[in-house]
Amino acid sequence: MTRQIKKPATVTRRSALKGMAAVSAAAVGPWVVSSKVLAAAGQVNVLMWSDYLPTGFLKSFEEKTGIKVNYTGIGSNEEIITKMKATKGRGVDLCSPTNMRSPQWVDLDLLQPFDYGRIKNLGNVNPAMLRVGDDEWNFQGKGSHWLPHIWGTEGVAWRTDLWAPPRAGEIPSYGDVWQEDVKGKTMMRPHSGMLGAGLYLETTGDLEPGAMKRAYNDQKTMRATWEKVTDFCIKNKAQLKLFWNDADTQKNGLLNEGVVVGQTWDGPPITLMNDGEAVQYRAPVEGSLAWVDGMSLSASAEDLDAVYAFIDYCFEAEPAGKSIDGGADGAAWGGHGYNSAVLGADKFASSQYADVFGSVYPGDSLANLWPWPKEPQWYADVRTEYRNKFVNA
């Protein structure tokens, strides 16, 4: 059966935006297409997460502007950087790194700063998220190299017809994927699943509280912590049915691969919830991992008129809101299931958006977010070392 979704009184879309502003991780106005852009009937090459641009969004943008979007879907920040390095950014106009990855881009010379004067709908963007670009992506003082686009979290999803969290209010834990009753029926993405395991171990006393956050301080501290996390994950690897690395793998795991509970992004299971499947996503007791995925401008971008037209359309409230869950058009438009950095976008999502939002972020979930810290390259390299050790065990 599909669990009925109820909206807790303590959670609203307004409180969500305040919550994201508080962690600083993570509008409505006319959109005007210049005659120059229309005449050019150009194209924009977008390297973006695999489920972020629904069919309805792409069709609507092309019909309105005459501009074609060449959309290449990706599943990780590492993939973005690898593809951009391989071509020195040629063939890509916009890519979509996550907010905390700026240290890995600052010395690559693959991006160029945005010209805020060319973005008519910039005032529609959540200012707390916009400041991330101004503060953390202002390379060499040349201006922001990153604009916020979509925000969301990573937490716990499960099959409501096969399992339920044992805690009051059905609040899950990252530790649920490691319990004997779901052995061989769980899934995670390796590196973030290991982080979730570490946060769980902080609650059991196997790690000191705050250990996973302090691991970002220096390599010696990180290795001491991640050795324990890796040993735990390898010892309990039989819990896992599969590893995922994109939205479709998560959906398929829950629907067709026998996964009962997993650590997932919010978007894929929420899309299944909107489709009436027996699935629930919810922020875990340890705090959901919060992120903002953005847009960055390739240093090799060619048709800048088309690029800025695309950015402006992303920042228009109606298409941004309909892209969440299809809005009134539903499945005909399609949706990614995440949240928009555009203020007022929620007004154009479907009527059930607020109920779903309240269901996945109940109580004090928004005050308990665990925003991904800024990630230096040494951290990413060492984490990959431990991730590979776990996966290959």
Range of the domain at 190: 154-289+371-391
Based on the domain organization, do 187 and 240 belong to the same domain?
yes
pLDDT band at 24 (very low <50, low <70, confident <90, very high): very low
Calculate the average pLDDT of the chain.
90
Say what the pLDDT of residue 35 is.
Answer: 33
Based on the domain organization, do 140 and 217 belong to the same domain?
no
**For residue 2, is it within any domain?**
no
Based on the domain organization, do 246 and 284 belong to the same domain?
yes
Based on the domain organization, do 295 and 343 belong to the same domain?
yes
**For residue 28, is it within any domain?**
yes
pLDDT band at 303 (very low <50, low <70, confident <90, very high): very high
pLDDT tens for residues 188-231? 999 999 999 999 999 999 999 999 999 999 999 999 999 999 99
Based on the domain organization, do 172 and 89 belong to the same domain?
no
Based on the domain organization, do 252 and 384 belong to the same domain?
yes
Based on the domain organization, do 124 and 215 belong to the same domain?
no
Say what the pLDDT of residue 208 is.
Answer: 97
Give the total number of structural domains in the chain: 2
The pTM assigned to this predicted structure is 0.84
pLDDT tens for residues 234-262? 999 999 999 999 999 999 999 999 999 99
- The region of weakest confidence among 7-21, 44-58, 143-157, 264-278 is 7-21
Say what the pLDDT of residue 41 is.
Answer: 61
Say what the pLDDT of residue 127 is.
Answer: 95
- The region of weakest confidence among 25-29, 120-124, 245-249, 260-264 is 25-29
pLDDT tens for residues 161-173? 999 999 999 999 9
Based on the domain organization, do 82 and 163 belong to the same domain?
no
Q: What is the mean pLDDT of residues 312-324?
A: 97
pLDDT band at 34 (very low <50, low <70, confident <90, very high): very low
- The region of weakest confidence among 13-27, 76-90, 351-365 is 13-27
Based on the domain organization, do 85 and 135 belong to the same domain?
yes
- The region of weakest confidence among 36-40, 76-80, 265-269, 326-330 is 36-40
Based on the domain organization, do 245 and 360 belong to the same domain?
no
Q: What is the 3-state secondary structure (H, E, C) of the chain?
A: CCCCCCCCCCCCHHHHHHHHHHHCCCCCCCCCCCHHHHHHCCEEEEEEECCCCCHHHHHHHHHHHCCEEEEEEECCHHHHHHHHHHHCCCCCCEECCEHHHHHHCCCCCCEECCCHHHCCCHHHECHHHHHHHHHHCEHHHCCECCEEEEEEEEEEEEECCCCCCCCHHHCCCHHHHHCHHHCCCEEECHHHHHHHHHHHHHHHCCCCCCHHHHCCCCHHHHHHHHHHHHHHHHHCHHHEEEECCCHHHHHHHHHHCCCCEEEEECHHHHHHHHCCCCEEEECCCCCCEEEEEEEEEECCCCCHHHHHHHHHHHCCHHHHHHHHHCHHHHHHCCCCCCEECECCHHHHCCCCHHHHHHHHCCCCHHHHCEECCCCCHHHHHHHHHHHHHHHCC
Based on the domain organization, do 260 and 203 belong to the same domain?
yes
